[in-house]
Each structure stands twice: as structure tokens, then as C-alpha cells.
Amino acid sequence: MDYTVEQGWLQQARRAPSPNWEHRPPGCRPELLLIHNISLPPGCYGGDCIERFFTNCLDWDEHPFFEEIRDVAVSAHLLVRRDGELVQFVDFDARAWHAGQSSWRGRDNCNDFSIGIELEGTDDDPYTDAQYTALAGVSAALIDHYPSLDGGDIAGHSDVAPGRKTDPGPAFDWGRYRRTLADSGVHA
């Protein structure tokens, strides 16, 4: 599938606008694709809890784990569901709240210059074929759309926040992702 970015939005994604974003600092453009994982409750797939969490609509009493994240306001630009469905929460030209305290190649505050892509999953559960296909296609479209991005600036959350974050985890097959991306004409 070919993916298209228009005015900061992926045309093939369902939109679920999050209030958890800001304008990027002046002069900052997307220069890093940052891969994450999330499941809510942990290890549970297919529900709408991630979407409700990123849009500040999660019922904190719905599951005991949610008490641990009650005061957290986060978002990502994009979620890739297990079946490959895409949900976009924040305009790619804006600053989503996904990386937290982070650093990449000597630059702090990765939210300022990155695009955050969440995979529905955990560190240890294998990701699906549909997720690898969608992630590679979206990555290629973003790299094509934003000249400030290139295939060499793709990292996991664990790379920008070592010791604090572990995602996308050992279950994420970086080699497979990079090969699939290369098949799209992008060398990462």
C-alpha cells in the first residue's frame, strides 16, 4: 500500500486527535523516527484503551494498572495496531509527548525533533506481519515527505532513554524492519 502525508496527516490513518501536543520549537523539523510499543492494560490487545489514554478519556477505575498511569499525559503521532490499522493522534508537524527525558546523538528533548510511532505490543510478544508492513510503508512515506528525515535516523525508545525505557524490546526484529524498508527504496 502507498501512504500519503498531507498537511501533517497520514491520509490512510484514522484520526483521533489528542490534546497532548505542542508546537515544535522554531526551526525544528522531524529528523528522527522513534519506535515505541504500548498495550493497555499491559499485554492486552484490540481494545480502545490506548486511544482513550492518548486522548485523555481513559477510565482510571477500569483496570488496576491504570492507577499507575493516572497522572500521565502522553501521546504519539501514530499507532500501528496488531492488524495494521493506523490511528494518528498528532499532526506530524507538531510535537507529540512520547519520548520524555531523552537524547539522540547529543541532542536532548527528542520530542522536539522526532515522530513517535507506537506499535501495539510488548517488549516480548512478536509483532505481526501487518505491523511490519504498515510500519515500513509509513516510514518510507515520512522519509519521502520530510527531507529532514533519512533512513539513518530511526531509533527505538530504548535508544534515546536507555535505562529508563526498553521498547520496542527484544521482540522487535530490526533486521526485518530495515529489509522491508529497503524494499520500499529506503536504506536505513
Active-site residue, 118 included:
yes
Long-range contacts of 6-9 (CB under 8 A, 24+ apart): 7/91, 7/93, 8/91, 8/92, 8/93, 8/94, 9/88, 9/91, 9/92
Helix (H) or strand (E) holding 36: strand 32-38
The residue annotated as part of the active site, out of 51, 67, 68, 118, is 118
> Whole-angstrom Cα distance, residue 85 to residue 12?
9
User: Catalytic amino acids?
Assistant: 118
